[in-house]
Amino acid sequence: MKPKPWVIALHIVGWIFFIFIPVFNITSGKLTPDDNTLHVISNTLYRFIPFYVCIILFFYVNANILMPRLFFQEKYIAYSVAIAVSLALTIFIIQSLPFNPNPSLQKFGPPKRMLTTFIVFYFVIVFLLSSGIRITQQWMKSEKKRKEIETEKLNTELSFLKAQIKPHF
């Protein structure tokens, strides 16, 4: 099933908003007149690229692979393990990379000791969003199917009643 253009646009806008959240956090109230705002923003975006890639990848893997193959198949333990491994892998990848390539901007962003908390916080948000969206989609699909079955059942009953009233037609 090919996604609709408005869905793709919504995802792009959502990810742009999500990507700029750390920039808003980092630049709010911390810039002094001698700081180059554009440099701070570009450095912030640059150093968070691996984080964004991991989080965005997790969003789609969770929504399109883990939930349909594990969660909806009631393999809850395997699903929980997959989520825990994803979180651990994300933390490992982000912690392994140099956090700030430009030491002059070290004062911007979360301190190194708070990086794990930052990663877990955003990971949980993305986990809840991807799971919530996928569960909502599944519910809507089930509801549509239920309504179709109900309509078909009513049509069958109506045909049966018509056949009883006019058996010779």
* Per-residue pLDDT tens digits for 76-97: 999 999 999 999 998 888 878 7
Task: Show the tokens assigned to 3.
Answer: 């996604």
pTM of the full predicted structure? 0.75
* pLDDT at res. 115: 74
* pLDDT at res. 89: 92
In whole angstroms, give the CA distance from residue 143 to residue 147. Answer: 6
In whole angstroms, give the CA distance from residue 58 to residue 161. Answer: 53
* pLDDT at res. 35: 58
Q: Dump pLDDT digits (tens) for 4-18.
A: 888 888 889 988 888
DSSP characters for 101-137? S-GGGTTSS--GGGHHHHHHHHHHHHHHHHHHHHHHH
* pLDDT at res. 8: 85
125-143: b or e for each residue (b if 16 or more CB lie within 10 Å)? ebbeebbeebeeeeeeeee
Residue bearing tokens 């692979």: 65
Tens digit of each residue's pLDDT, the chain (169 residues): 677 888 888 889 988 888 877 666 665 655 555 556 666 666 667 777 888 889 999 999 999 999 999 999 999 999 999 999 999 998 888 878 765 555 555 555 555 667 788 888 889 999 999 999 999 999 999 999 999 999 999 999 888 888 888 776 5
